[in-house]
Each structure stands twice: as structure tokens, then as C-alpha cells.
Amino acid sequence: MRLLVLCISLILGVFGQNEQIDEDTRKKIEEIFPITNNNFAPDLEEVTESTNGSYGAMEQCGEGSTRGLKRCVVYNKCDPKTNTIVEEDVTYGFGQIDIRFGKKECEEPLDVCCKINPNTPTPNPVTPVTPEPVTTPPIVKPSFCGIRNPKGIDFTITGNFDNEAEYGEFPWMVAILNKNYILQGLDKPLVCGGSLITPNVVLTGAHCVYRNKSFDLTVRAGEWDTQTTKERLPYQERNVNQIIVHEEFAPGILHNDVALLILDEAVNKADHIGTICLPSQNAKINSKNCFVTGWGQKDFGKKGKFQSILKKIELPTIDRRICQDALRTTRLTSKFSLHSSFMCAGGEEGKDACTGDGGSPLVCPDPTNAARYVQVGTVAWGIGCGTLNIPGVYGDVAQFRNWIDQKLQRLSISSAPYTV
């Protein structure tokens, strides 16, 4: 992995761009700000370390023996049959994309080394510019809720050693962002995760949004890798028009931790954007093969971090009594009582929603149709992270189905998009 010593602009201003930074200062900066992009401080020394999964020395695409014959292009501009650059987008046969950091033919994860068409002029080098999100509506897909894409769409990934989800694997997953803050150069800092239950309604945890004003928030659907916009299908962002928090939500203890976000405009359904199904009121769904997803609030969009790609963790649901007994062995003490608005999942060592986001969905296979998923929980709280035999605690979505239906009915919003 390539690590660069990092310096923020304030420090650069103090020392001057043409002065060398002393070694003690360099080490302190590196401890606080571990990584950045290659062009941020060109006067600093670059250090290359050998890591697991690195590629070692490799000739770069378009250099050496491939100069003038090949160049790096985004994956959907390379015909997989002929491995030749094409003008029109390709929508099939992409194969595998390696998401590991390290020496590769192309620096960008979604770029591939492709043969130059003799009839296509080689473009002049240009300074990379981050494109604005495309707002053109993608191709509409059938209106079925809970359809997971276990093999992703467009391509499958390799090098996913940190529970990265496939591209488009969980179409209902959304990021709730605060559009009025910029965090260390990030576009829009992450507030929480959520799930799309209708094209214009997001389900999340009340603890995520009860202090926010609706005009502060925006929702991003169809996101996968927060470091790039090179995916064939763009993400879609919508402003939040209204926040509906459960009337009996208790901020200190998170009872009734549920909220709805009403968007100012419906998102357009596509292969990578869809709704999740909700269980009927008081339904009990038990499974060993549930998934919780999230990006990780700390590292959302941070350059050089695996957390830029959506994570997934497979977890089992846990019986309420077993969960309560387990939590009583912690600092909660033997008098702890698990509120009826909670359910539990996890308890396996090293596997927990701590790498995810509050409000993110916990989904399980539908007992009547294993190909369809139902949201059983929203990430709420936990004791520690990934501790053996200590489950994580989630808002129990089945306890709020009637509440959700009633709130949306008053707004003339149909429950059909999330009904099994």
C-alpha cells in the first residue's frame, strides 16, 4: 500500500511551500493525518511498503511495450469481447474488477487496460477532474421490493478482504448526508445510513436525525464506492422535505428508535436502486443469514480507505431472552430489561455493525421466498464491537409497521413499494 506523509494546508502555510519540514514535525503530522492523495504535498517523501495482496512491480498500461497500443479507460468503455476501446457504453460481460490497493496496470479501481482502436485518436493528457453526479434517469427496473443482487451488477469484485459489498448488491441502501458541512475535503459528510422503502421515503433511526432540520439533509441512493463516480449507473441525491420521528422516541435510552425521511422528489428505480420489503406488524423473522450494511461514518469518502466501498456483514438474529441474558453480563448489570422496541443480532466474534452506520438496515431472507429480503432491524446500539456472545441491538421494524403505514397514509403515500 502506498502511504504518503500528510500535511494540511495550515501547516504548509506556516513552513512555506519551498521549505522542508523537519522529521519530528513530519512524524507528528503522519500520526494525526495518516493518508491523502498523491498531489496534495508534492515536496514530501513517498514511501512504498509491501503489504498483503500487493501486486509488486507491474508495467503501467500505455507505457513501455503497450505505449500507443493500450490505455486505461473506465470499464464500460472497453468491449469485453475484443478488449478494445469503444465510444458507446458497454452493458455486459465485464467480468471481475480488483478493488485492492497496490501496483496495477491502471491506478483507478474501475479503470481497465484496453486496446486503442486504430480509428480512435488518443486524447491529449488532461488534469483529472471529479465529475458532477449525472442526473439523467437510469433505465427503470421492475417494481419489486427486497431484490438483492448477490453477484452485483455489471461486474463482480475480487480483493474484497474487508467485507466489501458487490456493486449494486443492496439497492435499498442509502446514505443520509449533511449538505451544510464539509469534512476534511469530503463532499458531503455522512450522518447515518438508511433504507429506501418507497421511491420518496427513507427509513432510519430516530437517534440519527431527531436533532436535524430537514433542510440540512440530503439522501444519496445508488452509492457504492464513495471515492469514484465512474460506475456506469450514477447515484441519485434528493433533499429531505420532512423528518418524522416516533412520538415516543427516548433519546437517552433509544426506545422507539425509528424515523421516516420524506424526500422532495422520488428517486428513479434502476438496477442499483430499489426498495426493501418490510415485515407485517409483530412478525417474527429468524435467520442465520441476515445482512447489515454501511460505509462507516468516520471514513466515508476518505481517500485511500477501504471503507469508501459499502460494507456488508452477515449476522444471525438472536432470541430476545438470550440477548437480554447476554447483555446482563455486561456493564448494563443483571437488572437490565430489553425494551420491546428492540431486537438483536450478531454475537459472533469480530462481526458487528460497528463498521456500519446508525440507522442502517438489517435485512433477512423472506421466509416465504429466500430470493427476497425483508428489513427486520435498524442499527441502534451495542456494547463493545464484535465481542463473542454479546449481540448488537437494533430497532425492531416489525413493531413499527402499523406506525409507518399510518404516517405515510396521512401523506397519501402508498405502502405497496415495501409490502411483500
Residue 407: φ, ψ to 5°: -65, -40
For residue 112, being part of any structural domain is answered with no
What confidence score (pLDDT) does residue 3 get?
39
In the structure, how many helices (H) and strands (E) does the chain have?
A: 5, 21
Residue 32: all three cell numbers together = 494525526
Identify the domain boundary among 12, 29, 48: 48
For residue 115, being part of any structural domain is answered with no
State the total domains in the chain.
Answer: 2
**Cα-based distances in Å from 157 to 55, 101, 153, 269, 311:** 16, 13, 10, 23, 13
For residue 135, being part of any structural domain is answered with no
Dump pLDDT digits (tens) for 116-161. Answer: 887 655 555 545 444 455 444 444 344 589 999 998 887 677 665 6
Dump pLDDT digits (tens) for 45-86. Answer: 333 333 444 334 567 787 777 777 788 877 777 877 777 878
Dump pLDDT digits (tens) for 258-286. Answer: 999 999 999 999 999 999 999 999 999 99
Residue 411's domain is classified under what CATH number? 2.40.10.10
**Cα-based distances in Å from 324 to 337, 339, 392:** 7, 9, 11
Statement to judge: residues 205 and 348 lie in one domain: yes
Run of H or E residues at 23: helix 23-32
**Cα-based distances in Å from 101 to 84, 136, 138, 255, 311:** 25, 31, 30, 41, 16
- The sign of the CA dihedral 66, 68, 73, 78 is negative
For residue 365, being part of any structural domain is answered with yes
- The sign of the CA dihedral 232, 233, 239, 245 is negative
Residue 54: φ, ψ to 5°: -75, 160
**Which domain range does residue 399 map to?**
156-418
What confidence score (pLDDT) does residue 16 get?
40
Residue of higher predicted confidence among 224 and 220: 220
What confidence score (pLDDT) does residue 251 get?
93
For residue 77, being part of any structural domain is answered with no
Helix, strand, coil percent content, the chain, rounded in steps of 5: 15, 30, 55
Please tell me what DSSP assigns to residue 351.
Answer: -
For residue 100, being part of any structural domain is answered with no
Q: Quote the pTM value.
A: 0.68
For residue 300, being part of any structural domain is answered with yes
Please tell me what DSSP assigns to residue 281.
Answer: T
For residue 97, being part of any structural domain is answered with no
Region 292-320: mean pLDDT is 75
Statement to judge: residues 182 and 331 lie in one domain: yes
